[in-house]
């Protein structure tokens, strides 16, 4: 399949010029050429500078990568946090881990965050990105694969915003602003749902009237870029039956058979599955009916309750942050209960996914909690002896790979979630 792409003039400029020069130069470049099949065959030797943008409801992670086949080397990585709050944070580091920025500042909007990132790249005299990749939480029923962004794709993304109202408005703002701020640079949508798009019907179809399927009401699954990055990291040692536990403020568990997702804990939206920081996870649907009927909660109030007032925060009445709860667990029974319920919920999903797979060879913990919290990992694994999980507690404390005991029938590993690198890989492959 042929596609349009910026021509040789642009490529030559990108090798020689820095970001400030190119932001001016590219605005007037109109030479477009068609990539032939022969050109595409040269892809294996092609190197590209890719900017990955990973937008959350109040954050924007970013990474500038030098990408070639099978490898994405970070040049600069960082994050704008607490966007829109009284005091935001911005930090960045280079490939060697040296700090390039560490500041408390006002970042009132996602657009302001993009401007701050651009200033950092300019100050560091970086080459302009040759393409930009965006993490998109939900593509809806039409956008099931990573793709180049055009106006048709943007229209479909706007329609899909109803499925993830916490995340999609911010992501759309970033895309629109990046298009204006980096004129002429191809941009790619990388979907968290793509990894799960080929799940079998038995996992994808929800037990509701089939007519609703036409409107896209089904299980989509999320954290797909994280799962893709784990599969990529495992590469030649990918087990046939793998469970990925992505545990963070958002959390999910996915069953992977021979590299493909066959079931996952999240459903139509990122609100379902296991207990999360402020999201409820799975609820008896009768709870929602009861609250609507007896408490007179409308859709907006129900959405706020399920997404922002539940989970660890709702149980503890204190915090959505696992670290804050662990700090007071000895003196606060509700904090201890929230931790126990989180681990209990995650262990149930891991065991369920083991049944889906017909056994499990490897369990991988990833995400902020999964990678950094040995106490949570130990509590979850302590409930999984029936599927052959046995931890080496000394190795678990330092996340030494693997963290399972030599006698464990299931290997247990801790691997980093490399969502931004995965965005860079996918963007390279499409540009």
Q: Round the average pLDDT of the chain to a whole number and report it.
A: 90
pLDDT, average across residues 405-417: 98
Angstrom CA distances, 170 to 83, 101, 118, 305, 307, stand at: 11, 23, 18, 20, 16
Residues 6+ apart with CB under 8 A from 91: 78, 79, 81, 99, 101, 102, 103
- Span 51-71, mean pLDDT? 93
Q: Active-site residue among 192, 263, 307, 373?
A: 192
Residue 46's pLDDT is 87
Check whether 282 has a pLDDT greater than 80: yes
Q: Where are the beta strands (DSSP E) in 268-336?
A: none
How would residue 23 be classed by pLDDT, with cut points 50, 70 and 90? very low
Round to whole Å and give the CA distance between 221 and 253: 10
Which residues lie closer than 8 Å to 228 by C-beta, 6 or more apart? 194, 195, 422, 426
pLDDT single digits (tens) 182-232: 999 999 999 999 999 999 999 999 999 999 998 899 999 999 999 999 999
Lowest mean pLDDT among 124-128, 135-139, 142-146, 421-425: 124-128
Summarize the confidence of residues 75-99 as an average pLDDT: 94
Distance (Å) of CA 128 to CA 47, 119, 277, 317 = 14, 12, 37, 46
Q: For position 204, what pLDDT does the model report?
A: 97
- Per DSSP, the residues of 79-118 read EEESTTSSSEEEEEEETT--EEEEEEE---SHHHHHHHHH
CA–CA dist 270, 267 (Å, integer): 7
Q: pLDDT tens digits, residue range 375-403? A: 999 999 999 999 999 999 999 999 999 99
Task: Give the model's confidence band at 58: pLDDT under 50 very low, under 70 low, under 90 confident, else very high.
Answer: confident
Q: Pick from 135, 379, 366, 354: which is nearest to 263 by CA?
A: 354
Residue 11 has pLDDT above 60, yes or no: no
- Predicted local confidence at residue 416, as pLDDT: 97
312-342 confidence digits (pLDDT tens): 999 999 999 999 999 999 999 999 999 999 9
Question: What's the pLDDT at 207?
Answer: 96
Write down the pTM of the prediction. 0.88
Above pLDDT 90, what percent of the chain?
Answer: 83
In this prediction, residue 90 has a pLDDT band, given cuts at 50, 70 and 90, of very high
Cα(28)–Cα(15) distance, rounded to whole angstroms?
18
pLDDT of residue 17: 42
Residue-level length of the chain: 431
pLDDT, average across residues 349-353: 98
How confident is the model over 98-109, as a mean pLDDT? Answer: 95
pLDDT of 167 reads 86
* pLDDT at site 57: 78
For the ranges 4-18, 81-95, 124-138, the lowest mean pLDDT is seen at 4-18
pLDDT number for residue 7? 32
| pLDDT at residue 4 greater than cutoff 50 | no
pLDDT of residue 41: 52
pLDDT band at 37, cuts 50/70/90? Answer: low
Q: Is 31 a catalytic residue?
A: no
For 385-426, the three-class secondary structure string (H helix, E strand, C coil) is HHHCCCECHHHHHCCCCCCECCCCCCEEEECCCCHHHHHHHH
């Amino acid at each position: 399949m042929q596609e349009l792409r910026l021509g040789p003039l642009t490529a030559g400029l990108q090798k020689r010029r820095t970001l400030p020069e190119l932001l001016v130069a590219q605005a007037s470049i109109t030479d477009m050429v068609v990539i032939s099949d022969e050109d595409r065959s040269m892809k294996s030797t092609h190197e590209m500078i890719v900017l990955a943008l990973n937008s959350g409801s109040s954050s924007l992670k970013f990474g500038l990568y030098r990408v070639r086949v099978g490898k994405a080397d970070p040049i600069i990585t960082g994050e704008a946090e607490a966007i829109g709050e009284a005091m935001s944070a911005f930090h960045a580091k280079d490939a060697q881990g040296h700090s390039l920025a560490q500041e408390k500042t006002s970042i009132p909007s996602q657009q302001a965050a993009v401007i701050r990132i651009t200033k950092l790249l300019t100050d560091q005299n970086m080459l302009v990105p040759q393409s930009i990749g965006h993490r998109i939480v939900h593509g809806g029923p039409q956008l099931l694969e990573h793709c180049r962004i055009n106006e048709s794709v943007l229209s479909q993304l706007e329609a899909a915003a109803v499925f993830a109202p916490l995340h999609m408005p911010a992501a759309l703002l970033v895309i629109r602003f990046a298009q204006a701020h980096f004129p002429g640079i191809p941009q790619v949508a990388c979907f968290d749902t793509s990894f799960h798009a080929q799940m079998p019907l038995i996992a994808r179809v929800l037990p509701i009237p089939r007519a609703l399927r036409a409107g896209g009401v089904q299980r989509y699954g999320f954290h797909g870029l994280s799962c893709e990055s784990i599969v990529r990291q495992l590469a030649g040692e990918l087990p046939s039956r793998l469970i990925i536990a992505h545990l963070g403020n958002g959390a999910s568990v996915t069953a992977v058979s021979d590299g493909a997702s066959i079931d996952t804990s999240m459903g139509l939206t990122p609100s379902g599955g296991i207990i999360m920081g402020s999201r409820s996870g799975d609820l008896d649907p009768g709870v929602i009916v009861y609250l609507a009927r007896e408490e007179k909660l409308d859709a907006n109030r129900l959405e706020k309750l399920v997404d922002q007032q539940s989970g660890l925060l709702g149980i503890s009445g204190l915090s959505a942050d696992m670290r804050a709860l662990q700090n007071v667990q000895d003196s606060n029974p509700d904090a201890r209960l929230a931790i126990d319920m989180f681990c209990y919920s995650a262990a149930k999903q891991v065991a369920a996914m083991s049944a889906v797979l017909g056994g499990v060879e490897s369990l991988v913990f990833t995400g902020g909690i999964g990678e950094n919290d040995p106490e949570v990992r130990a509590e979850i694994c302590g409930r999984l002896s029936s599927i052959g999980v046995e931890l080496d507690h000394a190795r678990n404390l330092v996340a030494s790979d693997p963290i399972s005991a030599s006698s464990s029938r299931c290997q247990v590993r801790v691997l980093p979630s490399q969502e931004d690198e995965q965005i860079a890989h996918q963007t390279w492959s499409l540009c």
